[in-house]
Amino acid sequence: MTDRPIDPDVDLHVPAQRTELHWPVLAAIAAGGALGALARYGLQSALPAGPADFPWATFLVNVSGCLLIGVLMVVITEVRQAHRLVRPFLGVGVLGGYTTFSTYAVDVQRVVAAGAPLTGLVYLAATMAAALVAVTAGMWLTRRIAGKPAGVR
């Protein structure tokens, strides 16, 4: 167990921070979320899928988003000190608005309901597997590029 707080932007040992609204953090999340959602909308508009088709846009969004989350978390926790709004803006906002579990779930249901249960099952499993590989690869590659030795964090 670590003595560091779960969210380094808020120290729950400080009573004022337990109830205080953090307007700059909320604004960073909202602005980032709008940008991430617009990026996802653009990719999904460029790669539309029919009812029984493999939803490539959502797959690519979620996998690339996981890769970027892996990169971001290593950069801001292991490589360099980041401004306190970087993680809320990029991690929660941009990448949270960009990636989408809800569309993933709806896509699976839509594909199965359209009579393509095998496609739905492949999409369901492939997304989870590829997302885990992507976040791990993003972390690993970033550590290698940053010159971090294996096993040192």
Residue type, position 6, single letter: I
Residue 96 counted as an annotated binding residue: yes
Percentage above 90 pLDDT, the chain:
76
Judged against a pLDDT cut of 50, whether residue 2 lies above it is answered with: no
CA distance 79 to 68: 15
CA distance 120 to 123: 5
pLDDT band at 43 (very low <50, low <70, confident <90, very high): very high
Per-residue confidence (pLDDT) for residue 7, from 0 to 100: 54
Percentage above 70 pLDDT, the chain:
85
Per-residue confidence (pLDDT) for residue 5, from 0 to 100: 41
Task: Return the beta strands (E) in 16-137 as ranges.
Answer: none
> pLDDT tens, 58-114?
999 999 999 999 999 999 999 999 988 999 999 999 999 999 999 999 999 999 999
Residue 119 counted as an annotated binding residue: no
- Residues 6 or more apart whose CB falls under 8 angstroms from that of 120 comprise 108, 109, 111, 112
